Structure 1
Amino acid sequence: MKTTLVTGANKGIGFEVAKQLLQNNVFVYLGSRNLENGQQAVDELKSAGFNNVEAIELDVTNDQSVKEARKTIGEKTSVLDILINNAGISGGQPQTSLSATMQQFHDAYETNVFGVVRVTQAFIDLMQKSDQPRIVNVSSGQGSITLASDPTSAYYNFKGAVYQSSKSAVNMYTVVLAFDLKDTLFKVNLVSPGFTKTDFNGNRGTGTVEDAGKRILKYAFIGQDGPTGKFFCEETNPLTGEIPW
């Protein structure tokens, strides 16, 4: 049975991803900043008949929390097959380039960028023992500089200096990560789940968590002949999924 860690998985897209992984007979470590919230999510999944799931206290913004999570999971398994870096925040309002505060930038980057780096570096040793290691970093089409500067893009008028720049940053980290792992068994990709209706956006999204989860799992399960170091958003490009940087 494959093992997976999903960060920020106690609600929203992360919770749906955990559920779909369980439906595919994968053991899930459900990462949650608040252990009580994580346990409630696990209880809900178990009440639905899924037993191969365990809540892990994991605050991606805290070095010690990530180290403790690595220690806890390392005591339970010697191999981690899939890492889904899903935890993220919007950065709050306002988000114009001239009015967003330094605290907003700091908080968003701490979660959306540094959190991805922390967790990836902490768990890479367990993943190196897998025969099919997969890393999926959950990004956003809003992180595409090409689309953000294209007046014909569907979301051109939706600008956010904090959130968008943090996603662009994690996109570049992922490109370099994939490059550093190119001669290994790893597949490392970015997936934008699309404008999904969740608490994250005040339930203004137009897509479902079910579709978002399927888009993420597609790249968590890709074969050895699949892509690495690519950026996908099937909402923007239903044909091949790949979108510009």
Structure 2
Amino acid sequence: MASPASKVLVLITGANSGVGFELAHQLMQRPSYHILLGCRSREKGLAAVSTLQSRSPAGTGEFLHLDVTDDDTISAAESYIGTTFGKLDILVNNAAIATTDPSLSFRAALNLAFDTNATGPAALSIALAPLLEKSTHTPSPRIINVSSGVGSLARRLDPTGPMYRVSGIPYRASKTALSMITACHFVEFGPEVKVFAYDPGFTVSNLGPHNNVESGARSAEESVRPLVEVLDGKRDGEAGLLLHNTGVWPW
């Protein structure tokens, strides 16, 4: 059996549930892949790894303690990956929140959303970019920022579209910021490292109380399949943009 250090190394944040967990599940079907499940909660992260391993995957995976709002855990993750593997092939910035706590002031809700959904992914990408640059993986190393079409300015201002009256300024604004971070890192890290934003669509997850089948959310399995195509290099001509399962959202 190949050692984890010789495999395609993928770090997925927020990997204990929803899109992150399903992506880890699908990638662990590949014997040449080793998945780092980045999770804020040690208990939930270890449980997720245990569940995936119980399915007898062809690939391998492990828990990595990582809170994108905590620079100490980002530094520790960078140190561990560098020392243990010497490189990183794919980073999937998936961890996100949609603040629904009515006790939070607007300022607190906005700051919390930005810290988790924009600042955190940006800080992690900057910290891990040198390790991505050491990758020899084909296709080229990449960063995928899991985002949302609700962050599109054009869709927000289109009175004929479904996003016109969707509320939630903190979440929407944080995803708009993530689009700019994606564009900046596309320029700054490229062409060696490809950077994408990807909207998996309305998906069953722990993101909010309405992310369920009853509200029309798609299964995580269905939402993740097109994301895997981005990881596999099938949409490299659209790097630097906000992708969805069949196309590109306008900024």
Counterpart residue number, 1:58? 66
Task: Tell me, yes or no, if the aligned pair for 2:35 and 2:62 is still in contact at 8 Å.
Answer: yes
Normalising by structure 1, we get a TM-score of 0.91
Match of 1:169 among 162, 177, 181: 177
When residues 226 and 125 of structure 1 are mapped into structure 2, their CA distance, relative to the original with a 3 A threshold, is same
Residues 77-156 of structure 1: matches in 2 within 5 Å?
Answer: 77-93=85-101, 101-131=106-136, 132-156=140-164
| Rounded Cα–Cα distance in structure 2 between residues aligned with 1:69 and 1:19 | 21
- 1:65 maps to a residue whose letter is T
- 1:117 maps to a residue whose letter is A
- 1:83 maps to a residue whose letter is L
- 1:232 maps to a residue whose letter is L
Q: Structure 1 residue 225: deviation in Å?
A: 5.4
Q: Structure 1 residue 93: deviation in Å?
A: 4.9
Task: Tell me, yes or no, if the aligned pair for 2:196 and 2:240 is still in contact at 8 Å.
Answer: yes
Counterpart residue number, 1:209? 220
| Rounded Cα–Cα distance in structure 1 between residues aligned with 2:243 and 2:220 | 17
Q: Structure 1 residue 21: deviation in Å?
A: 1.2
Residues 38-53 of structure 1: matches in 2 within 5 Å?
Answer: 38-50=45-57, 52-53=60-61
* SS of match in other structure, 1:175: helix
Q: Structure 1 residue 34: deviation in Å?
A: 1.0
Task: Tell me, yes or no, if the aligned pair for 1:113 and 1:170 is still in contact at 8 Å.
Answer: yes
Q: Structure 1 residue 48: deviation in Å?
A: 0.3
* SS of match in other structure, 2:72: helix
Q: Structure 1 residue 74: deviation in Å?
A: 1.9
Task: Give the alignment's Cα RMSD to 1 decimal.
Answer: 1.7
Counterpart residue number, 2:28? 22
When residues 205 and 60 of structure 1 are mapped into structure 2, their CA distance, relative to the original with a 3 A threshold, is farther
* SS of match in other structure, 2:84: coil
Instruction: Show structure 2 runs of 5+ residues with no match.
Output: 1-6
| Rounded Cα–Cα distance in structure 1 between residues aligned with 2:78 and 2:199 | 26
Task: Tell me, yes or no, if the aligned pair for 2:93 and 2:144 is still in contact at 8 Å.
Answer: yes
When residues 226 and 22 of structure 1 are mapped into structure 2, their CA distance, relative to the original with a 3 A threshold, is farther
Counterpart residue number, 1:32? 39
Instruction: Show structure 1 runs of 5+ residues with no match.
Output: none
Counterpart residue number, 2:198? 191
* SS of match in other structure, 1:147: helix
Match of 2:230 among 213, 219, 231: 219
| Rounded Cα–Cα distance in structure 1 between residues aligned with 2:149 and 2:111 | 21
Q: Structure 1 residue 100: deviation in Å?
A: 5.5
Task: Tell me, yes or no, if the aligned pair for 1:187 and 1:226 is still in contact at 8 Å.
Answer: no
- 2:24 maps to a residue whose letter is A
Normalising by structure 2, we get a TM-score of 0.88
Q: Structure 1 residue 226: deviation in Å?
A: 3.2
* SS of match in other structure, 1:16: helix
| Rounded Cα–Cα distance in structure 2 between residues aligned with 1:100 and 1:65 | 27
* SS of match in other structure, 2:203: coil
When residues 20 and 151 of structure 1 are mapped into structure 2, their CA distance, relative to the original with a 3 A threshold, is same
Q: Structure 1 residue 227: deviation in Å?
A: 2.7
* SS of match in other structure, 2:161: coil
- 1:12 maps to a residue whose letter is G
| Rounded Cα–Cα distance in structure 2 between residues aligned with 1:171 and 1:106 | 17
* SS of match in other structure, 2:160: coil
